[in-house]
Structure 1
């Protein structure tokens, strides 16, 4: 019996777009999932609805109800407009949820592509359960927060998962609060890490930048102000948004 044959009902991406009635109720109950094969093993990402946005939470190895509705991840992913992608990072501390950052990614850049696939857990690893590891230049206009070490969770790792991460003019953005950027160069071993600016820097330019926090930046800035140890703040969950 195949993985998908275990379930009573398979749905399509079109079903997700036409959400309503019983399917909406099932999503709200947490029993609609995407299924994705990673290294020949099935991984599952829960589908949720938040403020009208359909979200796919990161793929993971988990038990799901036998009566769950499932949709193929590759099919669901076609609903995402590559020119205007959104992802989310849900932050928490000491077991409590702080809130969600909604991040709009730049179109057609390798940096944005990598960030999205790690948020989705598409390659078998994600930012979930990784801590923020440093506040750089605390209190200065060029303050920013680092995170995303999915390998060692201490700022020493986070190797690239896509090829072709090279600096170019498409990655240069004004240094404004909420700018999301990476850190890479020839031979960099931490290319999957991300850094989020918390203040505007009128004369500054961010590179390599690939996104902007559109919602929830105050959650991060409050965490910086209230936490003497930013490593107590971590990514509880992450994923991609379908109808952004």
Structure 2
């Protein structure tokens, strides 16, 4: 396979440029909104205003948390050198783990407004998330960032600008963290589940998928491997998710 070198600018109107990366985020929020409305009709416990606010709060949490998380976890030095770089979203540079924390805070604020239980909301939200993650990874692929390691495997993709073949780890993540995780969570949550179990399953599966894919993904050049010549920041940040998910799963079984 040959990487197609897609222009990151989807539409250039002269006075404004529309990037594929931004379009992927719009698709992520749109998919979450449509899925939320579908699920709300099934549960009959959410109204239209609540859904709209839920998506709004979540979108702010994703963007603000994702960008701040990337700066703090992956690129603090560049931010200190150029603080305005925090606004260069078209160049990528979003952290899932930062976005996860941002959404958790946003859901806490949402629950305060509507007096809802935290895990009732989060269990409702997590099945809406994976498709958005998949769209985000496709945006990474279009941007030509977050590549995997050099390989001679037929599963690699030849990058003409680099003159080498690499694992398209962005597509692996889009498949596992996006499509597979969505199918599992949507099917699992289609029936009544003990509170916290859907959230726990999300934490465990995402953490495991991310941890595994990091073995073929090249770590951020400014960080490299953190230890053992294989441990990456992505793996380090995923471990607490797996532990927390296991804890919530055990706690849910006692309810």
TM-score interval, normalised by the smaller of the two chains: under 0.3
User: TM-score of the superposition, structure 2-length normalised?
Assistant: 0.26
Which of the pair is proportionally richer in strand?
1
Question: Which structure's residues are more often helix, by fraction?
Answer: 2
TM-score, with structure 1 as normaliser: 0.27
